[in-house]
Amino acid sequence: MSKQEQPAQEKKPTKTYQFRLYPTHKQELLLENWLLLCCETYNAALDERKSAYRMAGVSLSYEDQCAELPGCKQVRPDLAPVPAQVLQDVVKRVDLAFAAFFGRVEEGKTPGFPRFKSRFRYHSLTFKQFGNSFKLHVEGKKKRGKLELAKLGLVKMVLHRKLIGTPKTAIVKRAPTGKWFVNVTVELSVKDLQEKRLLPSDEAVGIDVGLKTFAYLSTEEEIANPRFFREDEVKLARAQRKLSRAPKGSKERDRARKVVARTHERIANRRKNFIEQEVNQLVARFGFLAVEALVVRNLVKNPKLAKSIADASWSMFFTRLVAKAEEAGRQVVKVNPAYTSQTCSACGHRQSMPLSVRVYECPQCGLVIHRDHNGSLNILADGLHACGRAGRVIPKAPSL
């Protein structure tokens, strides 16, 4: 296992852009071939480490295995066309898999050994060093661009948004639908960050996510669940049924698998667009945002599809909100989700609130309020309290 002794450099903030690629047929064949070769190299490097560890108790390092690559190219001339840095990254991936494995062993767990990858599960190539293994060309015309890859040349790319920052790595990947994308990770300088800053805002908001509505704001506004969430669920269920019924190895099954992949992709895209749009609006308007610290990972295992789609949306929503707020210089506070729906936002009284009860009626102070509105007010109050900015926010005079 390689030691992680990187020099203590100050880490600059990064951001990843995803752009669609349109390789020519020839380029696509070449990329497919590289993926196959990288997958083979991955499995070979993994095998070598496993044998060394099992038979001699020796841990090979990233450097050890990288040093072998030129020799591999002599034995296997078909590896030669793959850029050296791309192959080194394959070895790096094996290294990371082992580092994670040993990390779990040290935690006292008994993890499975890193596994071999099937060629169907190997779909990305990493190009490090901007200017060397990859370059970006933005053409005069709007949105048109080219990605230049070492030993492959110029690939058509659509820059649907302006790229800010200094590119560091590019990961070229094939989606299950057969489409190609590139993830460009950039480093942001202080100047880049300033460009993204928004005008300061004094407005604060508490956000309560729910199943009936996507989110409820303490300003008494609602972000509704888009109807396509439900429509897409139905389509996905239908496509999956078709796939499970198709005989193995048949053309029908191939087709059904593509439909499932396309449906998943469309769901992911629509969800992403919806969340991006809502997050942008929230961050543009509010200077302080309080949300629940939901452990979404635990919820995702719910067998109900509706629930799992909602969970995936929430986790993406929180991640994007935090990232976007940071860029824009906004403050996001995560509060403990316990009792946010059970507590009266006016007097602090607590009572049980089954999911079916949509209105909070406080027997102590007489407050009558929408369940989620009450929750969002508690979240805001807890968030402000956590930052020492204020205590409880008292809502409008309770109505009897």
Distance CA 377, CA 372 (A): 9
**How far, in Å, CA of 114 to CA of 400, rounded?**
62
Which residues are CB-contacts of 324 (< 8 A; sequence separation ≥ 6)? 279, 280, 283, 330
Helix, strand, coil percentages in the chain from 3-state DSSP, rounded to 5: 45, 20, 35
Interface pattern 306-345 for Zn ion (x via CB under 5 A): --------------------------------------x-
CB of 371 to Zn ion, least distance (A): 14
* C-alpha span between 321 and 340 (Å, rounded): 20
For residue 211, which amino acid is it? L
Give the footprint of Zn ion on residues 212-271 (CB under 5 A): none
Q: Provide the edge-to-edge strand list for the sheet that holds 144-149.
A: 124-128, 166-174, 180-187, 14-22, 153-158, 144-149, 134-138
Among 346, 353, 369, 381, binds Zn ion (CB under 5 A): 346
In the bound complex, what is the minimum distance in angstroms from residue 230's beta carbon to Zn ion? 35
Tell me if 394 contacts Zn ion by CB under 5 A. Answer: no
Q: Which residue, 275 or 362, is less far from Zn ion as judged by CB?
A: 362
331-356 burial, b at 16+ Cβ within 10 Å, e below that, comes to ebbbbebeebbebbbbeeeeeebeee
Site residues for Zn ion, 142-181, by CB under 5 A, read none
- In the bound state with Zn ion, the residue whose beta carbon lies nearer, of 211 and 357, is 357
Least distance (Å) between residue 352 CB and Zn ion? 15
State the minimum distance, in angstroms, from the CB of residue 360 to Zn ion. 9
Residue number with CB closer to Zn ion (76 or 358): 358
CB closer to Zn ion out of 355 and 368: 368
Phi-psi bin for 291: left (phi > 0), alpha (psi -120 to 50), beta? beta
Instruction: Work out whether strand 331-335 and strand 288-292 pair parallel, antiparallel, or are unpaired.
Output: parallel
Nearer to Zn ion, 263 or 343 (CB): 343
Q: Please name the amino acid found at residue 90.
A: V
Q: How far is the CB of 387 from Zn ion (least distance, A)?
A: 24
Q: How far is the CB of 385 from Zn ion (least distance, A)?
A: 17
- Taking the least distance from each CB to Zn ion, the nearer of 349 and 392 is 349
CA–CA separation, 63 vs 5, rounded Å? 13
DSSP label of 137: E
Tell the smallest beta-carbon distance from residue 369 to Zn ion (Å): 9
Distance of CA 171 to the CA centre of its chain: 15
User: CB of 363: closest distance to Zn ion in angstroms?
Assistant: 8
Residues in a beta bridge with 33: none
Give 269 or 364: the residue with its C-beta nearer to Zn ion.
364
Out of 258, 285, 334, 349, which residue is the one contacting Zn ion (CB under 5 A)? 349
Tell me whether residue 313 or residue 345 sits nearer to Zn ion (CB atom). Answer: 345
As measured in angstroms, the least distance from the Cβ of 365 to Zn ion is: 3
CB of residue 388 to Zn ion, shortest distance in Å: 24
DSSP 202-226: --EEEEEE-SSSSEEETTS-EEPPP
Count interface residues toward Zn ion (CB under 5 A): 8
Interaction residues for Zn ion, span 356-375 (CB under 5 A): 362, 364-365, 367
Q: Which of 341, 336, 338 is nearest to 357 (CA)?
A: 341
In the complex with Zn ion, the residue whose CB is nearer, 90 or 346, is 346
Compare residues 57 and 363 and give the one whose CB is closer to Zn ion: 363
Q: Which residues pair with 184 in a beta bridge?
A: 17, 170
Contact with Zn ion (CB under 5 A): which of 99, 322, 347, 393?
Answer: 347
Q: Among the candidate windows 45-53, 95-103, 266-274, 349-357, which touches Zn ion by CB under 5 A?
A: 349-357
Residues that bind Zn ion (CB under 5 A): 344, 346-347, 349, 362, 364-365, 367
